[in-house]
Amino acid sequence: MKEKSLAQYLHPQIKHLEDELHDKQVQLNFLMRITQAINANMSQKDLFEMYTQFLHLDLGVNRLAILFKEPSGWRCHKSLDYSPKEVNELTQILVKKYKEFSKLGEQSPELLKPFQLVIPVFHKKDPLAYVLVGNIKQAEDAYDRFKFMISITNVVAVAIENKRLFSRFVEQETYKKELELAQKVQQMLIPSELPDTPDVAISAIYRPHSDIGGDYFDYCELDDGKLIVCLADVSGKGISAAILMANFQATMRSAVKIYTKLDDLVQHINTTLVGITKSERIVTFFILKFDPVKRKIRYVNAGHNPPIYLNGNEIVHLNKGCTILGAVEHLEHIDVGTISIGDGESLIVLYTDGLTDLRDANGAYFDEKKLQDFAEIHKAISVVDFNHQLLQAMETFKGKRAYPDDIAVVTCKIKARS
């Protein structure tokens, strides 16, 4: 009797886990198919159709409008159970009022009342697309579905925009023009301004080895006040590296808004990267999240050069994390490092291996020890002055020798609590 009762109790839980596993597998399968389609240069029309069918058949979306910004203006590329008549008026409302994922209700503007959700896609501060979702089939895992819906919408929209930008110019220009375009795309990915707040200041050095480098760094200020800083080294050079960086940025920027835990975030980025490259390209990656209230840093190092952390006389090499990204579909173990900063000032120096590959006239390397010694001597100055003097030291060290690889350095100073 007791065994029967236990089985009856466990059955719905097992059924729930099976359903959850099935849903995750469906989502992963679609992610693989859509990234393969993007990599295979599937047409914009077919990508929108593929995306629409997935939302409708697998995520239970029965009303949909996909608004995409074209050079000539906003256009509704695809819709379900809805015929937008006032696209310009509709997009004016969206651009003005909706900067992030939002639920709609009775207080929403009249043109948006047929829908339940707004999913915006931005490139930096510019709106790229809006997806309006309504008449959603009720499900117990609605929250997880919403998260995946946001993520895949960002990936598809940004990938379409990047491919459209590339294809338009690639078809018209020579290889030199292709390189110039890729340079512009890469420059768009690298932040032109870095934060200097009462809590933290950031400065960067970026020296691509060729016309288009494979190093990428970024930061994101989250709504809860936390700060994300990351640095990556993408394998390869040229246009393919720039395209991969664009997809990597799109994935990372959408994921940081969904995944609060760094291990979940890194796992998602890795899965997406494998789907895009089929494990033919790898990325070393470092990401940290700074909480200015708790004065704590959490980080993951995915096969990257360990950044140097200095706090008073304490020196730590930030090496906890996992293997490189893009090599295997699932990362078996991700170790999230944690550092409590305290009230004093701290310095973190992130860098790519192009820095430690620098050699002088005698063949000696500008190795990790030299960088650590430099950081200890100059840790009290501003991050801008730190990088200025580091760049001078690099130039003096290498002499007339060319840079052997791309070099990126991101210097972060956590300011003392006032």
Q: List the domains of the chain with CATH numbers.
A: 2-168 (3.30.450.40), 190-414 (3.60.40.10)
**According to the model, what pLDDT value does residue 183 have?**
64
Tell how strand 308-311 and strand 296-302 pair up. Answer: unpaired
Tell how strand 215-221 and strand 61-70 pair up. Answer: unpaired
* Tens of pLDDT, residue by residue, the chain (418 residues): 444 555 555 555 555 455 556 556 767 777 777 778 777 777 878 888 888 888 888 888 899 999 988 888 898 988 899 887 788 899 999 999 998 888 888 888 999 999 999 999 887 788 888 999 988 887 555 667 778 878 888 888 777 777 777 666 555 555 566 556 666 666 666 787 899 999 999 999 988 766 566 788 999 999 899 999 999 998 876 677 777 888 888 899 889 989 999 999 999 999 999 998 888 889 999 999 999 999 999 999 999 999 999 999 999 999 999 999 999 999 999 999 999 999 999 999 999 999 999 999 999 999 999 999 999 999 999 999 999 999 999 999 999 888 888 899 999 999 998 7
**According to the model, what pLDDT value does residue 180 have?**
66
Q: Residue 138 CB: number of other CB atoms within 10 A?
A: 6
**According to the model, what pLDDT value does residue 136 have?**
85
**According to the model, what pLDDT value does residue 203 have?**
96
This prediction has a pTM of 0.59
**According to the model, what pLDDT value does residue 316 have?**
97
**According to the model, what pLDDT value does residue 24 have?**
67
**According to the model, what pLDDT value does residue 52 have?**
86
Provide CB contacts within 8 A for 135, sequence distance 6+: 61, 62, 63, 81, 116
